[in-house]
Amino acid sequence: MARPARLQVAGGIFHVTTRGVRGLPIFLDDHDRVWSATKTNHLFVLAETGGGTGFRLVADYDLSRVVTGDERITSALRDFQGRIWFVTKKDGKVGVLDPQTLQIHVKRTNEEIENSFAVGRDGVFIVSDKRMYRFRADEGGRPHVVWRSRYPNSGIHKPSQVDAGSGTTPTLMEHGLVAITDNADPMDVVVYRRAPTLAPGQKRVVCTTPVFSKGASATENSLIGSGRSLIVENNYGYQDPFGLMGGTITSPGVARVDVKPNLSGCRVVWTNHTVRAPTAVPKLSTKTGLVYTYTQDAGDLGQVWSWVGLDDRTGKTVFKVAAGDGLAANNNYAGVALGGHGTAYIGTTTGIRALRDGG
């Protein structure tokens, strides 16, 4: 049954540290406005004020009628038809909001959804703590499951993970593929065919390929996808930096997995066994051929953080530049962003750090 969302429009000024707006998830629309879910289960639309010194609230969609109690919105994204999809962690609700009519339709999976999701022209791809899903919206805006596939799960809530399930947002690839990691031990990269129906002899799963070591493999970050290649980092062992175990040094590992040209399976092309990128959400530059990441090492006075560039072809370390020491330099799951003019950015617990090309 569709339920109307309550829309409020206001002219108040909100600064970057707006109370009630979570750091994630957010997305920008085609008017450069920020859409952000809040802790109170609203969806704020924020526009920049003059001079770019703050934000102005231009719309407030109240989703608390369908996201109730102690449920929280994990992520919200817009599809190619302008509808807003959102998911909740508890009960795994998948919802669709029509911003024009304010109608909301919700489907409950009864599985935990702790990751964001991927939106393609051919559907919305969501991973729960048990299954990989492809959803679509019908003409009335109601979400429907096109296909679902259970992935391998050890049942272990590994250190660095939010729950005992996949830690990745699905990555859309060329050739009609989508990829995640599972929660096996060791962890696998799992690649699926996205098509709603399969040709005779085809299987939904293209490959299930193990990476890193048994008892020391987990990730809470999306895979990099480029062509038929996927880059995965190991987050195993990372802990809350503000907790008692905040100084833990994580297990190393960054690997590249390629899907075979005929889509008959996958293979591990290389594994870097020395780089520790505990939460970096790395980025690949196809121009430089480098994977840019943010790493951790043990130092005499605690953790030492560095910018690292890996050769996409071989996995070898091309450069390593010191970024800082201790908690102040910890990025704590903030992702690497590549800007113009050879600059990389990352958020840390104390601000934003930049790495510029010195050439």
pLDDT, one tens digit per residue, over 136-145 is 999 999 999 9
Instruction: Return the pLDDT at 340.
Output: 78
Residue type, 87: V
> Given this model, what pLDDT does residue 14 score?
34
Closest CA to 69 of 91, 95, 50: 91
Q: Say if 69 falls within a structural domain.
A: yes
Q: Does 56 map to a domain?
A: yes
51 belongs to a structural domain? yes
The two structure tokens encoding residue 275: 């780089």
pLDDT score at 88: 95
Per-residue pLDDT for 1 more than 80? Answer: no
Q: CATH code at 51?
A: 2.130.10.10
Task: Give the whole-angstrom CA distance, residue 20 versus residue 106.
Answer: 24
107 and 59 in contact (C-beta within 8 Å)?
no
How many C-beta atoms lie closer than 10 Å to residue 2's C-beta? 16
Question: 49: helix, coil or strand?
Answer: coil
Residues 114, 90: Cα–Cα separation, whole Å: 8
> Band of the pLDDT at 18, cuts 50, 70, 90?
very low
DSSP strand pairing (34-38 vs 21-28): antiparallel
Print the domain residue range for 41.
Answer: 1-150
106 within a domain of the structure (yes/no):
yes
The identity of residue 243, as a single letter, is: G
**Is 313 part of any domain?**
no
Number of CB atoms found within 10 A of residue 9's CB = 9
| Residue 160 CA to its chain's centroid (Å) | 14
Give the ranges where 145-189 is alpha helix by DSSP (H).
none
pLDDT at 299: 86
Number of folded domains in the chain? Answer: 1
Q: Is there a domain that residue 119 lies in?
A: yes
Cis before 143 (ω within 30): no
Dump pLDDT digits (tens) for 220-274.
999 999 999 999 999 999 998 888 766 788 999 999 999 999 999 999 999 999 9
Q: Is the pLDDT of residue 173 over 90?
A: yes
**If you average pLDDT over every residue of the chain, what do you get?**
91
143 forms beta bridges with: 137
Does residue 14 sit within a domain? Answer: yes
Instruction: Classify residue 237 by its DSSP letter.
Output: T
Could you tell me the pTM of the whole model?
0.91
Phi/psi at 260 (nearest 5 deg)? Answer: -65, 150
pLDDT of residue 242: 87
Identity of the residue numbered 318: V
With tokens 């969302």, the residue in question is 5
